[in-house]
Amino acid sequence: MSSISSSRRATSGTRSTSSLGTASSTSRTDPVLEERLSSLLASPNFSVSQYLNLALAPLTNADDDVTSSNNLSVEEHAEQQLEQRMASLALQLQMRTQSCHDEIGRIGAELQAIVPRCAADVGRLKVGLEGMELDVRGLLEGMDNDSKMAKKNSKKGEDAGAADVGAGMDVSKNRGDDPLTTLHSLLNLRTHLTTSRAILSAASSWDETINSIPMLLSTTPPNLVEAVAALSQLERGARALRGMPEGRDEREAALRKLRTQLEVLLKPQLLHALKRMDTRLGPLQQCVVMYGSLGKMEVMREEYVRMRPSEIHALWFSFGGGASSGGIGKAIESEEKIDNDDGLYEEGEHSKEDESTDQEEVEDFDFDEPSPEESTPTSPIDAMQQQQQTTAKQFMDFLPTFYEAVLELLSKERTQSKLVFGADLAPSIVARVLIECFKPIVDSFEKRLGNLCPPPGKKNYGGGGSMDSSMGGAEAIAGAYESTIQFLSLAYDQMEAWNGRQAIMKGKNSKKPSPDDPANGEEEAPLQSVLRSAFHLIASPFLSYQRNLAEIERDPMLAAASMVAKDVRGVVNFEDAAERLGDLAPFMFPLVENTMTRFELLNSGYNAASTLSSIDVLLSNHASELAIAMGTLSTNASSARSSGPEFDEQHVHCALEILRTAGLFKRNLLTFEYSVKDQLRMLSDEIMMVDIVLLDSSGIIPDELAPAQIGAMLAKVACDPSPKYIDDGTGVKCPTTVVELRRLAGPAGKGNKKESKNVVSPPLFPKALDSTSRLARSCLSFVFEVCSAIPERQLHGISALPVWKQDGALDDDETSYGILPQSFITHVGEHMLALVQALEPFASDPDALGLANEVMSGVLEVAVQPWKEFMAAAGCSFKAGYEKSQLEILLRGKDLSKYLLCENEDALEDDMGGNGEDEEDEDEEASTAFCNQWLDVVGLAVAGRLLERTMRIPRLGRKGAEHLATDLNYIRNVFTALGVSGHPHPLLGYVAQLVTLEDGTLRSTIKRRRQGGDAEVSSEAMEVIKRVELRIAYVRSISV
């Protein structure tokens, strides 16, 4: 039994020995318990029993598994766990005790340094208060004596009588001035006594104090705190003894020597405190006090700021591999300075070294050097491009991470700088730390951006003359810039106490600096200037891209346009033309929208003309390519129709789909233009706000800055650093950029489809609008050619038909059943009737119909050519300069019907006018109007072509005239059945009458025309009627 107990004790001892580490690891993995124990220690209700109960409470952890695996009993497990917890608690208490001893020692050391200074200050206050007490007592005694003297003189004055009243008043007046005179004399006396005491005190303690400094510096370690305090006392004494001519040069020389000696001794202590500032701030605070006493706060600040962002620099240069330390060292050695006039950083001269050595020391993710494992011997160019794409993506992912690290540093610095330097200097310190974070990496940042997108005038690092889109291009630059201005906005928020700081700065500027000020009267750059310098420095790698954005965007956009143009030229098959062109037509608009987004981000409205011009040319070329494709497609479709079927409704539908594509392009262009105008108007307001508020020279600093505001401020520095101000037309002076943007955008609220007809802003993309008009005409012509192909082919050779020359009486069948229309005209009539069914499916789609209507203006022009040829065949010509108006009169038959038609024809026109009075909903009305519009155009072309062919008939016999009249009346009936307004054309019926008119009647009609019987009709229209009558008379062999 005893052996079992001893074995258990041995086992328990063994476990106790090993429990320390196990318990320690267990305690380290239980942060909740540690937090509860720490809060209990800090609680005013702390008790030992509560602490022990909480610390030794049983836990459910991995020890249960270990116990169960060793097959121990429940009691042994509980005993083992208790021993582990007690061992862990003992270790923790020992560590806490040691930590408390260290903290007490540190606090004691700091108190030893602080208490003597406090005692000296209390002594000086005591002496000053005693002096003030003596002065007050003397003043009160003097006032009592004056009061007694006044009472005595007053009693004598009452016995003097009325004769001395005037003199008494003067004496009383002089007595009234006596207290003030006395007070003034006392004040002067106190000032002289204070000055004398300071001179005597300085003279008496000068030798003792100056001799004590070498003794303080000779100790190990040197007592720098007291030495600096003694030097400050000597400097105050030297100022007090400044009026004493003897020994002045010796005193100043001694002070300079001591100051230099102390600065040399303080430097190692400062560097040591800076290295340990992450754990202890006390030594650093002592250094601040000592440097402030020496008037060398600038040295202290520079050393502090230089040390803070070392981890940030290491993080930046660690990206991309390579020995980054050499790059950091070389970058830190570059000297830069702040120009206090404009707040801009000017980079100093960098040490010039061999390029090969520089590349060996710093491997700054050069895209043109692919890693060996990624290169393939078969295609090194592809491998290099893959490396470029991968590294560019990695850098775009790395940049926000880097900015987050900088923001974290600024957040810590915001608290630490207040503890070290005080609340007054903290904002300036944080701003300078921000500058120091980026000062050594600006060149590297610019190089990395150059690898993403070559700057203007430089070729791709990969060896090609054009930029590869896989590298990122302008989109990557815009992404990096957006991350940068967002970072600057967040960094601005890390600063605090703007208003308080500005009040302090204004107070310092309005009064003479005090000798006891920690900065010792040091002139400090305004915080606003420091912040602007920081922003300009951080954004300086983007300057070349901001100033040449249009040039950067041009090459990739032209490359994309070239690819799309190649695809557009490949559309030659009528079957898939609508689908392919529908995909290719709007392809460029997302690209130009992204271009405008990058323009707003990088340029904020500056240099708008160059960017808009580039977009205008790009869209114009794209529309021109689509128009050329329409011509090619029309030629191919005409060749196919010459050998194809008579009529295919699918062809009409495909042609209308292509017309819808043109409408989609025009709508996208107009929508894009409206959005750009709104964008320009917003940017002009942003520039005005930045110009008035953010860059105000009064020193007012906003509480926050949005990324857009920072972007506008940086864009102004990059693109228009010295703006010119002109009158905007309302008497307000505005920058020229704002005036130009407002001119381009037009009046406020007018940049939409409801734009006033009286106030119309100039188009932003005039070339693109002209090309879009040409594209619309090409599409309208293409649809017209498809719809009118059958009539054109059927009417092509009818002038030479032998039937027209036939004379004599009609056949029995023709007499019995009447003359039937010939086959060519029946084909035309059937085509016109079938065209309605071909148009209706497309017109029933409201979306497609709305897009097609975008480009339907001017559709009548496609039907003009047959009428021009009709005029030529009739021997007529239009007056120069009036062709369009006169041709429109002829096409519509205005003012001709009552001179050409018979009485029952007027009734027919009245019936036709009543056919469109049925009520229809809006969609049906739009669909009907679209179909009627195309039927009108095709009908006018058919009528014009039929009249032109009729004018070209060489001879018309009696029987042929009957056939021609029948054919013309047939097509007139078809047009009447269609119910389209303005059809049939009056000349069709009039020609049908002329060919069968009696010879004498025709002669008399021509004679009446010559005599001017219808002078009220326009001369051009009457000339056409006369020429038609003469031509019909000629082909009928009627002499006139």
**pLDDT tens digit string along 575-607?**
778 888 888 889 999 999 999 999 999 999 999
Residue 528 CA to residue 505 CA, distance in Å, equals 11
pLDDT at 13: 42
Phi, psi (degrees; rounded to nearest 5) at 952: -95, 5
Task: Give the DSSP H or E segment for 991.
Answer: helix 986-996
pLDDT at 593: 93
Task: Give the DSSP H or E segment for 338.
Answer: strand 336-338
374: tokens are 């990624």
Name the E strands within 923-1005: none
How far from chain centre, in Å, is Cα 214? 63
Question: Which of these, 742, 736, 761, lies nearest to 750 by C-alpha position?
Answer: 761
Contact (Cβ atoms closer than 8 angstroms) between residue 696 and residue 532: no
Contact (Cβ atoms closer than 8 angstroms) between residue 958 and residue 996: no
Q: What angle do CA 213, 215, 220 make, to 5 degrees?
A: 115
736-745 and 608-642 are packed helices; what angle lies between their axes, rounded to 10 degrees? 30
Give the burial string for 324-358 (b: 16+ CB within 10 Å, else e).
beebbebbeeeeeebeeeebbbeeeeeeeeeeeee
Other CB atoms within a 10 A radius of the CB of residue 424 amount to: 18
DSSP state of 691: I
DSSP state of 268: H
Query: In 3-state terms, what secondary structure has residue 551?
Result: helix
Residue 735 CA to residue 682 CA, distance in Å, equals 15
Contact (Cβ atoms closer than 8 angstroms) between residue 728 and residue 742: yes
Question: Per DSSP, what are the bridge partners of residue 346?
Answer: 337
Q: What is the CA radius of gyration of the chain?
A: 50
Task: Give the DSSP H or E segment for 686.
Answer: helix 649-689
Instruction: Name, in order, each residue with C-beta under 8 angstroms of 74's C-beta and a sequence gap of 6 or more.
Output: none
Helix, strand, coil abundance in the chain, percent, nearest 5: 75, 0, 25
pLDDT at 975: 92
Residue 524 CA to residue 340 CA, distance in Å, equals 10
pLDDT at 774: 92
922: tokens are 């809006």
Instruction: Name, in order, each residue with C-beta under 8 angstroms of 722's C-beta and a sequence gap of 6 or more.
Output: none
Residue 601 CA to residue 595 CA, distance in Å, equals 10
Give the burial string for 62-82 (b: 16+ CB within 10 Å, else e).
ebeeebeeeebeeebbeebbe
Contact (Cβ atoms closer than 8 angstroms) between residue 334 and residue 440: yes
Residue 1 CA to residue 98 CA, distance in Å, equals 44
204: tokens are 């008496």
Other CB atoms within a 10 A radius of the CB of residue 657 amount to: 19
Residue 758 CA to residue 734 CA, distance in Å, equals 25
Q: Is 501 exposed, middle or buried (CB count within 10 Å of its CB: 0-12, 13-18, 19+)?
A: buried
Helices (H), 241-372: 248-275, 282-294, 297-307, 310-318, 324-333, 355-361
pLDDT at 769: 93
Residue 972 CA to residue 989 CA, distance in Å, equals 7
Contact (Cβ atoms closer than 8 angstroms) between residue 115 and residue 122: no
> Tokens 């893959």 correspond to what residue?
386
Distances (CA, A) of 209 to 205, 216, 336: 6, 11, 41
Residue 210 CA to residue 257 CA, distance in Å, equals 11
Q: Is the pTM of this model over 0.75?
A: no
Query: In 3-state terms, what secondary structure has residue 237?
Result: helix
> Tokens 């110009």 correspond to what residue?
691
Question: Which of these, 665, 589, 582, 674, lies nearest to 624 by C-alpha position?
Answer: 665
- Amino acid identity, position 688: M
What are the mean pLDDT values of the chain's consecutive 10-residue runs (1040 residues total)?
40 39 44 75 71 69 46 71 79 76 70 68 71 77 67 54 44 47 59 65 71 77 78 76 71 80 80 79 82 80 87 88 40 40 39 39 42 43 49 85 92 86 84 91 91 73 41 83 92 64 43 45 64 89 91 86 86 79 89 92 91 93 89 74 63 89 93 93 88 61 81 89 82 86 77 47 89 92 90 89 80 61 91 90 90 89 90 80 75 69 45 46 82 92 92 90 91 91 87 88 83 59 83 86
Question: Per DSSP, what are the bridge partners of residue 725?
Answer: 735
Residue 711 CA to residue 603 CA, distance in Å, equals 8
610: tokens are 């160059």
Residue 89 CA to residue 1021 CA, distance in Å, equals 117
Question: Which of these, 526, 397, 498, 395, lies nearest to 449 by C-alpha position?
Answer: 395
877: tokens are 């010509």
Distances (CA, A) of 46 to 86, 97, 704, 857: 19, 16, 45, 90
Task: Give the DSSP H or E segment for 843.
Answer: helix 823-843
> Tokens 């025309």 correspond to what residue?
1009
Name the E strands within 838-905: none
pLDDT at 457: 66
Residue 455 CA to residue 548 CA, distance in Å, equals 9
Question: Which of these, 950, 642, 996, lies nearest to 790 by C-alpha position?
Answer: 642
How far from chain centre, in Å, is Cα 697? 26
DSSP state of 347: E
Phi, psi (degrees; rounded to nearest 5) at 574: -65, -25
Is the backbone peptide bond immediately before 984 cis, with ω within 30 degrees of 0? Answer: yes
Q: Is residue 524 left, alpha or beta, with left meaning phi > 0 and alpha meaning psi from -120 to 50?
A: beta
Contact (Cβ atoms closer than 8 angstroms) between residue 772 and residue 857: no
